Chain A
Amino acid sequence: MNRERSYIFLLLASVAGIAWVVANVAAPHAMGSVIVCPFRAATGLPCPACGSTHAVIKVFSLNWQGALYDNPVGFILAAGLIILPVWLLYDVVKKKSTFYDRYIQAEAFVCRRWVALPLVALVTANWIWNIYKHTL
């Protein structure tokens, strides 16, 4: 994906993410019954990211222990929801590609075996913990 398409896609994704979090804060009972995860809808089991909406809301309300219990992924998503739109808009306004360059570098870094294997182990451990919490 080239720079322009990536930026449009990520800006739209950021807006959708913020809208989703705001909708969950505004109407928690109505949104709480909505299952958006295809994996959970198909299997009944949570995916590694299930529970991250609640975790993001708890991160923003400074309940970090609750966020960690709901899903540690929430911290990454909360940081992304703040940093990503600002960084993308900075690049668009300044006509730079600092985000895109860093993205390409980070992608190459993550693909290295000694980085990828611990990350896969972490995601798997988080997934097992998520399934365990689901069965409680």
Chain B
Amino acid sequence: MEQQKIDMYLVTNAKYFESHLIPHISESLARMDDSRYIVLQSMGLKDPTTILIISILCGSLGIDRFMIGDTGMGIGKLLTCGGFGIWTIVDWFLIQGRTRELNFQKVQRVMM
């Protein structure tokens, strides 16, 4: 893929990934076929800040976990009053990292 397209993608989407993974994504994009670029751009990545707000507002119902695709954990939170409230608070600090991790996994499946 052209370097210009890679740079444009990273400038637009860097906030969705862990910063240490950006060089890896850049390398993978360089190897990727041009035809997959549209698929990559149309992927619905989750914004970590939005998920954090949802986690603070209704994390005890597991909605944050459901939204990022962690359904099992979401059910776990929902059925335990947000893990007696402790898991809810812990997730305020972990959910952004987990969102970025799952965004990367989602993008990786297209890039492979």
> Digit string of A82-109 for contact with B (CB within 8 Å is 1, else 0)?
0000000000000000000001001100
B79 engages A73 (CB within 8 Å)? yes
- Cβ of B71 under 8 Å from chain A: yes
A9 to chain B, nearest CB (A): 9
- In the complex with contacts A48-B78, A107-B71, A107-B72, A36-B61 CB distance below 8 A: no
Q: Give the nearest-CB partner of A47 in chain B.
A: B81
Question: Which size class do B's interface residues fall under?
Answer: 20 to 34
Whether B79 and A37, one on each chain, are in contact in the complex, defined by CB atoms closer than 8 angstroms, is no
Interface class of chain B by DSSP: helix
Hey, which chain B residues are within 8 Å of A13, CB to CB?
76, 80, 83
Q: Are B61 and A39 in contact (CB under 8 A)?
A: yes
B71 contacts across to A, CB distance below 8 A: 107, 110-111
30 pairs, A vs B, C-beta closer than 8 Å: A1-B73, A13-B80, A17-B80, A20-B84, A36-B81, A37-B81, A37-B82, A37-B85, A38-B81, A38-B82, A38-B88, A38-B89, A39-B58, A39-B61, A39-B81, A40-B81, A41-B85, A47-B61, A47-B81, A47-B82, A48-B61, A49-B81, A50-B81, A52-B79, A52-B81, A103-B72, A106-B72, A107-B71, A110-B75, A111-B71
Binding site for A on B (CB under 8 A): 58-61, 71-73, 75-76, 78-86, 88-89
Identify the 4 closest CB pairs spanning chains A and B, nearest first: A37-B81, A36-B84, A38-B60, A39-B60
